[in-house]
Amino acid sequence: MSRTFKDGGVPFCWHCSKQLMRKRGGFHFVIVIDQDHRQHRVHHDCVDRVIGDGVKRLEYEEAGS
């Protein structure tokens, strides 16, 4: 059984469908927003491939942290 995030999300990249990496007790990922304003987790290496066509990277100010 794979681990899940505290908010119930799955630990897989939205772009490549591979499992997200764990570092220092937590998952290492970037959040992007699609055209329908849904948030998705992607690897840092996959960010450049998904940006565009309405998909954008969530900035820290928007995330509320």
Question: Chunked in runs of 10, what are the mean pLDDT values of the chain (65 residues)?
Answer: 58 90 78 92 91 86 42
Q: Is residue 35 part of a domain?
A: yes
Per-residue pLDDT, 62: 44
Q: Is residue 18 part of a domain?
A: yes
Cβ atoms 16, 24 nearer than 8 A: no
Q: Is residue 64 part of a domain?
A: no
Q: Is residue 15 part of a domain?
A: yes
Q: Is residue 65 part of a domain?
A: no
Structural domain for 35, as ranges? 1-59
**Number of domains making up the chain:** 1
Per-residue pLDDT, 57: 92
Per-residue pLDDT, 55: 93
Per-residue pLDDT, 59: 76
Q: Whose CA is closest to 50, among 28, 23, 32, 27?
A: 32
Q: What is the largest CA-CA distance in the chain?
A: 34
Q: Is residue 11 part of a domain?
A: yes
